[in-house]
Amino acid sequence: MSTQGSTSSVADGTIAGTDAPPGIADSHAQLVRERLLRRMFVMGPPTVLTALAAAIAMAAVFFWMTRGIGALTWGIATCALLGLRLLFMRWNARLYPEPEFTLRQPDGAWRFMLPLGTYMAMWTLAPWALMPPGTESPSRILILLLGMFAVLMGSVPVIATWRAMVPVVTIPLTLGVVTRFAWMGGTDGWFACVVGLLFGGSMARYALSQHQLIRRSLSDQIDKELLSEQLMRQSFELQRLNRERSRFFASASHDLRQPVHALALFSRSLERDLAEHPLAPVAGRVVQATDAVSGLLNAMLDISKIDAGTVVPRPTEIAVDPLFLRLAQLFEPRAQQAGLSLRFHTAPEWLQTDPDLLLRVLTNFVDNALKYTRSGGILVSARPRGDRLRLAVWDTGLGIAPEHLPHVFDEFYQVDNPQRDVARGLGIGLAIVKRLVDLLSGEIGVRSQQDRGSVFWVDLPRRPPAAPAPLALAPAAAPDTASADTAETPLVPPRVLLLDDEQPVGEAVRMWLAPYCERIEITSRLADACAQVRATPEGFDAFIVDFRLADPQDGIQATAELRQLAGRRVPTILVTGDTDPERVRAAYASGLVVMFKPVQPEVLLRTLHQIIRSEARERA
């Protein structure tokens, strides 16, 4: 059997040892026994050929010296028994063929031991047959001892594999020498008898010690295989659990985003409609709570988009000065309001990087510094370090304890927020920053001392200035709380078709968009949406389609069908709550405008106006 098959008889996940349960230890010992047995049979055929050569040589030498029929008879009988051993080994090979029994075989020791015992009986008779009484001489005694001892020494590597072979081989050989020379008597006889006894005993002891080493080696090998198998099983189990966890969180995230998406639209509509009502503060609180939940889900989605590979850096040559100027514009009012200084130490340096992603990284650093600094100020610096430029944000804030530093870039890890106050962040910003820095091929780091402040930095490759393109930075990531830009509002209220299988979401979208639209139709099935397109000769100005529908088609396929019915590429927003990397990639690859639930109502309205105006400009 294969290695994997051989270990399957051992209880899962348990390595045999001195503290192992009896059943497990027995299984481990059985594995060792089966491997020893297999090794014995594998080593058998080569030793038979060696033994055949030794028997023929011994018989030929003593027949030449004595011309006795005994040596010839012994040689023929010994060769016949060796042939019998080979037959039994071939029988065993048919019963336990390669490669199924490469390392082990469960049974069959007697097929080796029985012919071996019969064969070794002939070696007990060897001193008597090769040198019959009356033919002794010092040279023949020496040759006989050397021959017998050589055979015994050559047998040690083989007999060490199986404990029972040690007495089966050493006793007959030693017994033949001892009895023959004890019968001979005299000084030479008794000396040869003692030497044979001592040599046979030492070879037996040596063979047993080698057997113990082989057993220990096999035991260690099996332990390693079992451990490797256990680790492999655990690895497969972890992969399975990770896949199940990913599927669970993807489903849970999608299902959670649906009501939060609807809640964001309902709450914003409520805040708008109750602007002059005494309950306006309550509506504002509802919006704040909804925005906090939306922020958490969107942060999780940011990580999913980065992991899915849909965030692709677009490097360009940028100067550091405009980057710092943008940070000053974003955070100077907030720093002044908090009574903190915000200073910049820059240099005429250039980078080849994505300005938007880098701005987001530095924005997170400065935002955190302002959160955790009570007095003093913040310094944003750019300093060359060899072929790299270090952009660092220093603060005089609370600092971070040494035990927390290795974890500050982990998801949902917050140093000083046991109450999980969402006003102090969600503990996911630095995890996103770490991924963004990896995308930029940079290195991120942190150093801090409690009650003295912290410094977060990112190291990026320097670039010499070479006719750089003007720096174009997207607006920094910030909550979209402003109302829709009137400059992007279509000339006439648009006609919008929504396809979403969640009825609460449809009603929320209708409530929010109705005041801004000439007409908005809400459908939950693709067939209903197609019917609305056919029934509207003037056509729709935009589609809003959910990615995951109750129909067999997804949102991408549904959009293609609706556009075909409309006879033109109607501007479409694909809305999804999925965080699964495959679905995220598919959404971006569709070429549609993708928005992720929960969508901020103002962003939905602004995006709707933008795609309608963009389509109108293209037609013009």
Q: For 212-245, how does the pLDDT look when each residue is reduced to its tens digit (9 = 90+)?
A: 999 999 888 888 888 888 889 888 888 887 677 6
Q: Which pLDDT does position 81 carry in this prediction?
A: 94
Report whether 575 contacts 542 (CB < 8 A): no
Q: Which two tokens stand for residue 424?
A: 């102090």
Parallel/antiparallel/unpaired status of strands 341-345 and 377-385: parallel
- % of the chain exceeding 90 in pLDDT: 25
**Separation between Cα atoms, residue 531 and residue 396, nearest integer Å:** 63
pTM value is 0.46
Which residue in this structure is represented by tokens 């949406």?
529
**Separation between Cα atoms, residue 580 and residue 356, nearest integer Å:** 24
Count of H-run helices and E-run strands, the chain:
16, 12
Q: Cα-flanking dihedrals φ and ψ of residue 584, to 5°?
A: -65, -45
Q: Which pLDDT does position 473 carry in this prediction?
A: 41
**Separation between Cα atoms, residue 198 and residue 201, nearest integer Å:** 5
Report whether 556 contacts 576 (CB < 8 A): no
Q: Which pLDDT does position 125 carry in this prediction?
A: 93
Confidence check: pLDDT of 15 > 50: no
Confidence check: pLDDT of 14 > 50: no
Residues of the chain with CATH 3.30.565.10: 316-461
Confidence check: pLDDT of 83 > 90: yes
Confidence check: pLDDT of 251 > 70: no
The tens digit of pLDDT for each residue in 480-512 reads: 333 334 445 555 788 999 998 888 888 888 888
What is the average per-residue pLDDT within 542-564?
Answer: 90
The tens digit of pLDDT for each residue in 587-604 reads: 888 889 888 877 788 888
Q: Which pLDDT does position 411 carry in this prediction?
A: 61
316-461, what's its fold? Heat Shock Protein 90 (3.30.565)
Q: Which two tokens stand for residue 100?
A: 């199924």
**Of 261 and 386, which is predicted with more confidence?**
386
DSSP string, 438-454: HHTT-EEEEEEETTTEE
Which residue in this structure is represented by tokens 């704040």?
288
Q: Which two tokens stand for residue 193?
A: 């008898």
549 to 501, 525, 562: CA distances (angstroms)? 6, 8, 14
Confidence check: pLDDT of 74 > 90: yes
- % of the chain exceeding 70 in pLDDT: 81
Q: How far apart are the first and last CA of the chain?
A: 75
Which CATH number applies to 486-619? 3.40.50.2300
Residues of the chain with CATH 3.40.50.2300: 486-619
